[in-house]
């Protein structure tokens, strides 16, 4: 079993470095992020993501899955830290922290390298990390090929987004682009491009979603910008029966994704 360093002080430089990853600036500088919980750590390992650092409470070190994570971390050239619960609480800023935390390297795919596949999702200027993480989880559920983040979108590798994704962040390929390169790339998309819009001319259930499909969803408050709306082949709407005139972004995206995937996946 690989050796681990025992750390009992929250002031330890390694612990402070990991704590710093709560800030987007630090995550982007180091290209790292934190996954909390043994389940999410094991999902990352099983998906082929090597751990840069594995942190775990000393009293769980010999549990089989923790031992497996330790061995995988060492095999990937990472290192293991045994810590106290107080250190974990300080590091994660949580009163009841998980017993295992992993530090992983971010992964981004280049826009120009995307293969159309069956279904891609593009999100414009999403602000809420909980919404973004939930969209990643839903994209994973319908076996989407990946998610493109357009413009000033929140960070999918933030702690809030990673938690909301429930582990899907390591299974859904991510791309980021500014609007102009995205629109140039979209011009070569070989299939349907569809977006939701209040001025949509069709019920979302009345469209044939023959793959490949590119679904574009807009900002939580403003929806799609005019440029992105104009880039869609079809603008659809989700009918509302009650007093609400719109849905939460993650809910609306889920409605669209399951409708698009329904025939293909027999859902």
Distance between CA atoms of 241 and 262, rounded to whole angstroms?
22
User: How far apart (Å, rounded) are the C-alpha atoms in residues 41 and 23?
Assistant: 20
**Alpha-carbon separation of residue 188 from 112, 115, 213 (angstroms):** 10, 11, 13
Cβ(161)–Cβ(133) under 8 Å? yes
Give the model's pLDDT for residue 200.
87
CATH 3.30.1330.30 residue ranges for the chain: 5-105
- The CATH number of 5-105, from 3.40.228.10, 3.30.1330.30, 1.25.40.10, 2.40.50.100, is 3.30.1330.30
- CA-based angle 252:258:263, to the nearest 5? 145
Which residue spans of the chain are classified as CATH 3.40.1280.10? 111-265
Full DSSP string of 61-127: TTSHHHHHHHHHHHHTT-EEEEE-HHHHHHHHT-SS--SEEEEEE-----GGG----SEEEEEES--
- 34: nearest Cα among 15, 48, 47: 15
Task: Check residue 1 and give its pLDDT.
Answer: 57
Q: Is the pTM of this model over 0.85?
A: yes
Mean pLDDT, each 10-residue run in order, the chain (267 residues): 84 95 97 97 96 96 95 95 95 92 97 93 97 98 97 96 97 97 96 92 94 94 92 94 87 96 72
CATH of 111-265, one of 3.40.190.100, 3.40.1280.10, 3.40.630.40, 3.20.20.70: 3.40.1280.10
The answer to whether residues 148 and 116 touch, using CB atoms and an 8 Å cutoff, is no
Confidence at residue 109, expressed as pLDDT on a 0 to 100 scale: 97
Burial bucket for residue 201 (CB in 10 Å: 0-12, 13-18, 19+): exposed
By C-alpha distance, which of 155, 119, 121, 126 is closest to 223? 126
pLDDT at 26: 97
State the Cα–Cα distance between residues 216 and 201, nearest whole angstrom: 16
Tally of CB atoms within 10 A around 145: 19
What is the C-alpha separation between 228 and 217, in angstroms, rounded? Answer: 9
User: With contact defined as beta carbons under 8 Å apart, do 68 and 120 qualify?
Assistant: no
């Amino acid at each position: 079993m690989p050796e681990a360093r025992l750390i009992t002080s929250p002031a330890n430089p390694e612990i402070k470095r990991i704590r710093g990853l709560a800030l987007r600036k630090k995550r982007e500088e180091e290209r790292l992020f934190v996954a909390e919980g043994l389940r999410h750590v094991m999902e990352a390992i099983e998906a082929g993501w090597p751990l840069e650092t594995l942190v775990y409470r000393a009293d769980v070190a010999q549990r089989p899955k923790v031992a497996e994570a330790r061995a995988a971390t060492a095999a990937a050239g990472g290192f293991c830290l045994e810590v106290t619960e107080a250190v974990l609480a300080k590091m994660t800023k949580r009163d009841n922290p998980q017993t295992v935390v992993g530090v992983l390297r971010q992964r981004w795919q280049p826009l120009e390298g995307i293969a159309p596949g069956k279904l891609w999702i593009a999100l414009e200027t999403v602000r809420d990390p909980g919404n973004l993480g939930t969209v990643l989880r839903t994209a994973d559920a319908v076996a989407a090929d990946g998610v493109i983040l357009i413009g000033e979108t929140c960070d999918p590798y933030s702690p809030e987004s990673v938690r909301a994704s429930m582990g899907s962040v390591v299974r859904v390929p991510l791309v980021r682009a500014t609007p102009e390169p995205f629109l140039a790339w979209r011009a070569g998309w070989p299939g349907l491009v569809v977006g939701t819009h209040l001025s949509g001319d069709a019920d979302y259930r009345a469209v044939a979603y023959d793959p490949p499909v590119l679904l574009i969803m807009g900002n939580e408050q403003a929806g799609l910008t005019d440029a992105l709306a104009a880039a869609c082949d079809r603008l659809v709407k989700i009918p509302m029966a009650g007093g609400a005139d719109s849905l939460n972004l993650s809910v609306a995206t889920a409605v669209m994704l399951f409708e698009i995937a329904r025939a293909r996946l027999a859902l």
